[in-house]
Amino acid sequence: MQDLISPEEMAIIDENTSYLGIPTTLLMENAGRELARIVQSKVGVQNKSVIIFAGTGNNGGDAFVFARHISRLAKKVVVVLVGDSANIRTAESKLNWAALLNMEYSINLTVIQDSSDLKKLKIESPDIVVDGLLGTGVQGKIREPIASAINLINSLKGFKIAVDIPSGLNPETGAIEDIAVKADLTVTFHRVKRGLIKNKENAGEIIPVDIGIPAEAEFIVGPGDLRFVIKDRPAESHKGDFGKILVIGGGGGEYYSGAPTLAGLAALTTGADLVNIAAPSSVSATIRGYSPDLIVRDLPGNYLSATALEPLEPLLKWASAIIIGPGLGLEPETAETILVILDKIRKLKTPVVVDADAIKAMAGNKTLLKGIPAVITPHFGEYKILTGIDLASQKSSLDRLQIVRNSAKELGITLLVKGKDDLITDGQSAKMNRTHTPAMTVGGTGDVLSGIVGCLLGQNYPPFRAANAGAFINGLAGKYAEKDRNGPHIIASDLIKFIPKAMQLS
């Protein structure tokens, strides 16, 4: 496990902790209590005056809890809420603010709604100054009255402590894009944010504290992973801005047509603007008949062969992401053609999902896509063909995950190994998705997964993020479909109907 963490990763972990049954209220209580413990051990609060500047977000909520915990020890505790109390943003922070309102004898509360109010604030040389104004989610220009509050904090002579991160410091880069608190000590929660190490001048001494986040929150996929692939659509959006997906599939075996169709419809339902399915002429008319929403491109022949390379050329350049493999079959010429197409994709550096028969073809040159944004989605059998490793011999999902991580590192791509627990890794980070149901053993659910992941890749999400969210959506859609069907009577197209519901955030 890495010691440093990005603000995006931390936000995902926070939300997934709640998904695992540990409420944010408890994390906030732990954060404020641990902050009080560290401050007491480092500088002491007995018979000292403490002023706490709090914002309206969860960073302010942590500061409210801290104030409550030190109020019995300090000589004087002043909490300055910078912003309207009616605008406190989360239920957890509101709860802890309400508690402070009842502590009129031990804590002095002041509300500052504009910078002119700060000038009227009477401060009597506090011993300790606490910055709980802004958390890890704030970047760029600092608005008033927060900006004036930061300047005021920096002007005070007391020992300065930042809650999680100094306000105004970029939590990822450590840059100060406007102004920032210059702290003597930063007490940061769960793990050290990268920006703190890059700007120790503003962070001061850095002490990470455990706030009760379980190990599972680091590696179990949850709604936090989904939140980071839900994109607002500006009013001025144009057709194609949210993904142009090319599916190359069909024609194999008994002229398969369903697999590429499921992948294409899943991509559309996930949010892609345009989907083209390039399929051999033996199945293209059938695919065209499934839905008027799909654009179907005829490739010559009964199965994929070298004759398809020329008509595919402009489509490969058009696509923002490509899905290759569903229903292609195992003809020797098909396998050779797949490798040529993958090499073209590598040169274009287009994001790609490699599934089904294309995985088997890739076993002949398994590092072909190294270094480009690629997600390969094998089941255990296909993973063994690709890598020579039998995952079924390992009983522990965590042991399997480590093995798959090593494979992804060697191949230089992201692997999404399908199973009871989906195993997802880019060779560095690794996660498991557990949203599945045994009803999803029905054929075609993997093609739906490819469509979902392909859509997300086509919307410019990184492969690891797209694979995590895609597995979560696919499994959750399967659960909703099973419930709708009153048991394990689902078919793959049922999942497509429930993709929108699976993508809804609370």
- Residues 165-180 have a mean pLDDT of 94
pLDDT value at 55 more than 80: yes
pLDDT band at 22 (very low <50, low <70, confident <90, very high): very high
The domain ranges of the chain are: 4-219, 241-376+440-500
pLDDT band at 200 (very low <50, low <70, confident <90, very high): very high
The count of C-alpha atoms lying within 13 angstroms of the C-alpha of 133, restricted to the half-sphere facing its C-beta, is 36
CA 72 to chain centre: 40
Could you tell me the pTM of the whole model? 0.94
- Residues 103-123 have a mean pLDDT of 90
Q: pLDDT digits over 134-146, tens only?
A: 988 777 789 999 9
pLDDT of amino acid 253: 77
- Residues 376-405 have a mean pLDDT of 96
- Residues 143-164 have a mean pLDDT of 96
Q: pLDDT digits over 400-451, tens only?
A: 999 999 999 999 999 999 999 999 999 999 999 999 999 999 999 999 999 9
CA distances in angstroms from 330 to 215, 256, 305, 385, listed in the order given: 42, 12, 11, 13
pLDDT of amino acid 120: 81
The count of C-alpha atoms lying within 13 angstroms of the C-alpha of 70, restricted to the half-sphere facing its C-beta, is 34
What one-character-per-residue DSSP string does 365-410 give? GTTTTTTSSEEE---HHHHHHHHS--GGG---HHHHHHHHHHHHHH
**131 phi/psi in degrees, rounded to 5:** -100, 105
pLDDT band at 336 (very low <50, low <70, confident <90, very high): very high
pLDDT value at 73 more than 80: yes
CATH number attached to the domain at 241-376+440-500: 3.40.1190.20
pLDDT of amino acid 364: 87
pLDDT value at 489 more than 50: yes
Number of helices and strands in the chain (H, E): 20, 18
pLDDT value at 354 more than 70: yes
What one-character-per-residue DSSP string does 203-258 give? H-EEEEE--S--THHHHB--HHHHHTT-----TT--TTTT-EEEEE---STTT--H
- Between 123 and 400, the higher pLDDT residue: 400
pLDDT band at 121 (very low <50, low <70, confident <90, very high): confident
Largest CA distance in the chain: 86
* Topology at the third CATH level for domain 4-219: Rossmann fold (3.40.50)
- Residues 216-223 have a mean pLDDT of 97
How many CB atoms sit inside 10 A of residue 82's CB?
28
pLDDT of amino acid 1: 35
Task: Decide: helix, strand or coil at residue 76.
Answer: strand
pLDDT of amino acid 136: 84
Q: pLDDT digits over 235-248, tens only?
A: 999 999 999 999 99
pLDDT band at 124 (very low <50, low <70, confident <90, very high): confident
User: At 355, which amino acid appears?
Assistant: D
pLDDT of amino acid 158: 95
What does the mean pLDDT of the chain come to?
Answer: 95
- Residues 372-396 have a mean pLDDT of 96
> What is the enclosing helix (H) or strand (E) of 263?
helix 258-270
